[in-house]
Amino acid sequence: MRTVELAEEVLKSKGWAYQFDLSVLLNQTDDSINEHIRSVYLSAIQVLSKQKSKRLLKGPFYLWICQKKLLGDNNRFVDGFSLIVTPFYQEVVGRDVDPIVEKMWQHKGYIRMESAIPILEGAVPACVFEDGQVIPIELDATLLSKLNETFEEHQYMLSLVNPGMTLRPNPYE
């Protein structure tokens, strides 16, 4: 099994967050929520793997998962999750294309797509899609420590630029 080393540029990358409302699920058990998240995650991988563009197939794209409160319909916060794909497609293929969004609309609870920085959302990397292959990323103590440090550093840098900003609690602690 190939191991993936996440460089700092990957940990600080920006991408598209596909957001979902989990409250629309009829069965709110952990198993049903995990199954829904897995279904969304696998469909994104399937869409990427069926691309005809060699540049899209080559990647690399990192898929991140984050469960958190999201602003849903009617401007109410809901239990939700985001599937975040980094980097932006145009950084890889040189044009604005989103092969995943049409598939995401078909999933129950889809809210919206917006840009995001996974490290600031508290997301954890699930896999890397590169050369048409999916390589799982194992969340171990070393990676968790790296996420923790990168989050703290990123918050500090943002606070220098935005002196009045409220610091978020570190989700990786």
Residue 4 has a pLDDT of 65
**Residue type at position 157:** M
Residue 75 has a pLDDT of 86
Residue 1 has a pLDDT of 45
Residue 94 has a pLDDT of 67
Residue 19 has a pLDDT of 96
- Residues of the chain short of pLDDT 70, as ranges, are 1-4, 93-96
Written as six digits, the tokens of 97 are 């294309």
Q: Is-contact 58 48, C-beta < 8 A? A: no
> What is the SS3 assignment for 82?
strand
